[in-house]
Amino acid sequence: MGMDEIIVGLEIGSGKVCTVVGELGEDDQIEIIGIGTSPSLGVRKGIIIDLEQATQSAKKSIESAERMAGTRINSAFVAISGNHITSVNSKGVIAISGESPEITENDIEKVIEAAKAGIVSSEKELIHTLSREFIVDGQSGISDPLGMSGARLECKVHIVTGSITAVQNLIKCVEGAGLDIEEIIFGTLASSHAVLSNAEKDLGVLLIDIGAGTTEIAIFVEGGLAHSAVLPVGGIQITNDLAVVLRTSIEEAEKIKINYGSAIKNSASPEKLVEVPSINGKNNYNVSQKYLVEIIEPRVSEIFGLVGNEVRKSGCYNMIPGGIVITGGSSLLPGISEVAEQVLNLPSRLGRPHYQGELADMINDPSYSEAIGLLSFATEKYSIRSSFQSTKRKIKVKNIFTKIISWLKDFF
């Protein structure tokens, strides 16, 4: 199998760097043959703040994925995050010219360009232009207007941009770690490919990826991304709260959170005692598990409160009857979904990848949603590329037709 059939997803997160290696087989099925994670240094709140450290962390993760896959990696699809990411909805309009009033590939490109005009500034790097719908002579809800007749073509797009500096540092980091970049993809958009069903996206759904340093949100309405944002809070804040209140180290607080933490009282027992190692290691003491909830719950509520503000600001609150899907490593905190329901007043479920191959047990972890989603995004792109080649269509419209690929499709 040639190198071009190897597809790699790379997430440089605030807590870990994760590299996933997939092999694209027949029927666009992907088999995951390697995964490598390493603690991530030099990344804070989703942004690279120390290039040298981040590059070393990425190298380690890549090397361990290569070892497991038994193959060298040359390039990757890379996720981007951080609260420099902004996203807006925009609309373009053009008149259809030419002899026959038939919409061509060129017209589609022109109307998308028109929608971008004025949005992309010199300080911002364009990450995605996602078409939400086309409108031909007032007729809305069209996903692909190619070949249709009409005099006026409109296009609604969702545009995701990021800070040029942050994007450039990400590129330097990945290249410094020895890989070419196939494409940079907004993290939550990637996660959505791993954890959301098409039915949820069509109905309207809020995806929340709570990692170590960020909470990324994406709202899907009528199948397309309608709003997205990155909040600079995550699991690290919960760990810090525990460390401060319990007067213990960050490392011990992290262990206590992972082994005994909970966000709701009824999953914690008041009798269950947890030993807290003191900073000097001499005066260890016990606290009840219920006490841990009292420290953790306010922070979790606060995070969902911030998410709620963002959702209300977007004007989409009434458009998400599909409810909330929570993923990312912090979604492993017991009770987190219940708190989300209380604060946001929407039904909520947990989301994780639904890979069905050999390494499924290891891979279907919510902290891998983003990296696995990158593979799914990439696979879809490859399959669209091949179907486009057969119909002589260009890849330009690649992001328009959002389909979840077959290995993720049947997970409900």
Ligand X SMILES: Nc1ncnc2c1ncn2[C@@H]1O[C@H](COP(=O)(O)OP(=O)(O)OP(=O)(O)O)[C@@H](O)[C@H]1O
Binding stretches for ligand X (CB under 6 A): 11, 13-16, 40, 46, 81, 211-214, 234-236, 239, 254, 257-258, 261, 328-330, 332-333, 367
- Residues near 220 by Cβ (< 8 Å), separated by ≥ 6? 192, 196, 200, 201, 204, 205, 207, 226, 322
Nearer to ligand X, 40 or 192 (CB): 40
- Binding at 42: pick from ligand X, Mg ion, none (beta carbon under 5-8 Å per type): none
- Is-contact 73 99, C-beta < 8 A? no
Secondary structure of residue 296 in the 3-state scheme: helix
Nearer to ligand X, 260 or 407 (CB): 260
CB of 256 to ligand X, least distance (A): 10
Q: What does the chain come to in residues? A: 412
Stretches 12-20, 101-109, 219-227, 375-383: which one binds Mg ion (CB under 5 A)?
12-20
Nearer to ligand X, 49 or 258 (CB): 258
- Is-contact 16 41, C-beta < 8 A? no
Nearer to ligand X, 89 or 214 (CB): 214
- Is-contact 277 252, C-beta < 8 A? yes
CA distance between the termini of the chain = 32
Considering only residues 172 to 211 of the shown chain, the ones binding Mg ion according to CB under 5 A are 211
- Is-contact 45 14, C-beta < 8 A? yes
Nearer to ligand X, 362 or 395 (CB): 362
- Nearest by Cα to 68 from 40, 39, 41, 37: 37
Helices (H), 177-234: 187-195, 198-203
CB of 203 to ligand X, least distance (A): 25
> Does residue 13 interact with Mg ion by CB under 5 A?
yes
CB of 71 to ligand X, least distance (A): 24
> Does residue 373 interact with Mg ion by CB under 5 A?
no
- Binding at 234: pick from Mg ion, ligand X, none (beta carbon under 5-8 Å per type): ligand X
Which parts of this chain interact with Mg ion (CB under 5 A)? Answer: 13, 211, 370
